[in-house]
Structure 1
């Protein structure tokens, strides 16, 4: 039987019905909101991306998203302090449409990144994380710049192992460690500069969702089409989608690129 977003919505609601959550479905955005009845804090999941993962890995995808939701809901009821957690603060990349405050009205701290992305900050809690809000900063007297400095240092300390694939003479590199910060590695300027130096053609970078970073050494026009198709596929399948656009890396800056018909590229 073919899985649809409506069926997936019903499955998730059934799996979560005994946990004391309230759910609501947004038909226009095809998303399911799960929140605590009292505080209205919760998470929103994109149903088409879950269906795509289900089509790829079956019931395991449903189990994974249910566990993710339950863990995220659990930590929302806990108090978290920044002081003493310096080693566990990391940057996370999100789309510019990502909410800048929680449903409970807490304003999240962030900085601008590209026209498509923003940088938020998270405390790593093992199986899940907590986004840093302004109140948490006030409690310890830290500035946004201080948090950014800590998070940037920590992202550089992570492993940068990648898998390489060559298609039509274009080299593609994938970082997908599943540690929650794969896309965040795009913030490591030294790494990007190293990959740019290594590239024989033009370096393009994509962060379609949280759990993958794609770098491409584009050497011909076909490479842009391949990257566009690849990025769109990853974007549709990601648990936390970011952007379906790729970026060209030039002069230490990231510029969105649009792949047009007939293998043309427009910036």
Structure 2
């Protein structure tokens, strides 16, 4: 039986991030991807030109439709836009017996806001406590906790600040630091430092969505969290290396690189 993974996130019309990136990642990693669309964006390589969140009832109906009939082996959340959506999704996840990867999406690759300021407290108090793994980048860590990471030494402090809100594990993504691309995975007692060479490629749209979906895919296949995150990091590193130009701005990572036998 092919494991099923449910992504609860926004649609990216340009195909590089959001629901589209999630489903491509799941296909590449051998799981069945399913979706709950929380928002529709008008988006391309240059940025986000518009965003429209779906009604809470529509999000809840999509979720129940999938979970009640098909079931899920893992869940991934992305863009949730408003406090109402965050709280509704957190309640749904809390009633579902499946590991959940929370990507606390705050801003797009281009700096466009994808989360209302009024929703931050709901992310902290409702969504993070139901997360098996939270995957904030450095901007999202600062947004959620006030901790600003300037060097690798700050990653532990950032991780502790996120863990204080209740996720079982956190991956603090240090991709915005100089040097190697280093992430810290910890549950507060054990640490895993994940390093990869930094590829000289500006086409990195969708990296956060892709990493979170890859972790969820590996969890659905039964891997423990440290192994799932390490495998996801390897997949994303290859996708970044193979990223390609699309349009006039920042192109996407290549979700299909491994299917073509490419080397990371």
Q: Is this a same-fold pair by TM over 0.5?
A: no
TM-score range, shorter chain: under 0.3
- Of Structure 1 and Structure 2, the greater strand share is in 1
Q: Which has the larger radius of gyration?
A: 1
- Give the TM-score of the pair, scaled to structure 2: 0.28
